[in-house]
Amino acid sequence: MTEYQFEEKPTRLKVKDNVGLYRDSKSNGIINTDEQAYKNYLKSKQINQGKEDRMKSLEDDVSSLKGDLKDIKLLLQEIAKNGTNK
């Protein structure tokens, strides 16, 4: 019996007019092989996550301050009310 060997199609095909981009012939997905672009993406994602975390922290602080001011206002109203009844 004769064995046949078939050459597989290349799994990555270069995308025309795009440096570092390849199409995976099996999944038809686009692969970016530009490592510097990937590092830049990760860095910007980390920066944006830091900004989101900071914004969330500031929102929590403002919410807490609002609650504190409400409590202070209620205490002042109670003091004013009790002070006029004496």
In a domain, 58, yes or no: yes
In the chain, the number of structural domains is 1
CA dist 45 and 37 (Å) reads 12
Between CA 70 and CA 73 the distance in angstroms is 5
Tokens of 38: 């990937």
* Residue 69 CA from chain centroid, whole number: 33
State which residues form the domain around 38: 12-84
- pLDDT tens-place string over residues 19-32: 899 999 889 999 99
Lowest mean pLDDT across 2-6, 56-60, 75-79: 2-6
pLDDT in tens, 72-81: 999 999 999 9
Tokens 């989101």 belong to 52
Q: What 3-state DSSP class applies to 77? A: helix
Identify whether 79 is part of a domain. Answer: yes
Global pTM reads 0.57
Helix (H) or strand (E) holding 42: helix 35-84
